[in-house]
Amino acid sequence: MPELPEVEVVRISLDTIICGLKIKNVDILNKKLRYIISANVKKDLKKQKIISVKRRAKFLLVNIDNNKTLLIHLGMTGKIFILDRTKKVTFKTSFYYYSNFLRKHNHLRIKFFNNLELIYNDVRKFGFIKLIKTNDLNNHSNLLNLGPEPLSKSFNFKYLKFKCLKSQKNIKNFLMDQKYVAGLGNIYVNEILFKSSINPRKITFKLKDFEICAIVKNTKKILKKSIKEGGSSIRDFKGTSGQDGYFQQSLMVYDRENQSCKKKTCKGKIKKINIGNRSSFFCKNCQK
């Protein structure tokens, strides 16, 4: 599912539901993910309490009270469900509609003493779950080379200009690269460049100051808006009552090939091109 806003929506939801809960048991239903789920996950989580749920880029960090952290990445199709086993008919789902046909892709189940269950489900198996020592977190290979959080103060004009001047990349690939700014993915980068009226193929050192400024401003604006609306940079996103995510309805360019540009004064059509093996959508008219 996930780019930064979706992961943040999951984080907020988990943080309010599972903090303080004590783990009764863990079942590894299918250990085959991007990395094999270690048997230690089952052993080390048992009887432990959840302290907090944090996020770094697209990673979820579930802090456990034995100085360990469960590092979760949702890959392309990872989903987390919370089920309420005290309710016999309807399950409590936190962000997705839980349906039976999804069950074959369940990988991990954490049962809590209060009868809530957390389920990690992943169709394409690009996600992963690792248990690591909390103290080693910052030096862990998956987190080591991440750039600043786009919503933090360190992602600002001065920083971005400095990095843009030193890079030969096009701006599309630059913003997708987690070492420059961490948490953006294909959909949001398309949307950010449209809103900033910048052609995705433009080389970063050629960007004008006002364009760099626009990227910073629009990145924060778009991410915040999407988090507020519940995130949904995914085709199969369903809210808790089955409705489409709001952000999906407000995508300006992504997946809109040949449709007309949504800017009122523009009559251009959205084009689709390939940049670095990923689809880029943009309006030729607005993004010169």
Question: In this complex, which beta carbon is closest to DNA, that of residue 20 or of residue 273?
Answer: 273
Question: In this complex, which beta carbon is closest to DNA, that of residue 60 or of residue 286?
Answer: 60
Residues forming the site for DNA (CB under 7 A): 1-3, 6, 34, 57-58, 73, 75-77, 104-105, 123-126, 141-142, 167-169, 173, 176, 178, 185-187, 233-236, 276-279
- CA–CA dist 11, 8 (Å, integer): 5
Question: In this complex, which beta carbon is closest to DNA, that of residue 112 or of residue 120?
Answer: 120
- Which residues, other chains included, contact 217 with Cβ-Cβ below 8 Å and sequence gap of 6+? none
Q: How far is the CB of 26 from DNA (least distance, A)?
A: 21
Candidates 55, 58, 111, 195; catalytic one: 58
> Looking at residue 51, what DSSP letter applies?
E
- Relative orientation angle of helices 209-228 and 186-195, to the nearest 10 degrees: 130
CA atoms within 13 A on the CB side of 259: 10
Candidates 49, 220, 278, 284; catalytic one: 278
Q: How far is the CB of 178 from DNA (least distance, A)?
A: 5
> Looking at residue 103, what DSSP letter applies?
G
58 is an active site residue: yes
201 is an active site residue: no
263 is an active site residue: no
- Relative orientation angle of helices 209-228 and 157-166, to the nearest 10 degrees: 120
Residue 27 to residues 37, 40, 41, 42, Cα–Cα distance (Å): 11, 11, 9, 7
The answer to whether 92 and 45 are in contact (CB under 8 A) is no
Q: How far is the CB of 86 from DNA (least distance, A)?
A: 30
Q: How far is the CB of 176 from DNA (least distance, A)?
A: 7
Segment holding 150, helix H or strand E: none
229 is an active site residue: no
Question: In this complex, which beta carbon is closest to DNA, that of residue 50 or of residue 222?
Answer: 222
Q: Mind telling me the catalytic residues?
A: 2-3, 58, 278
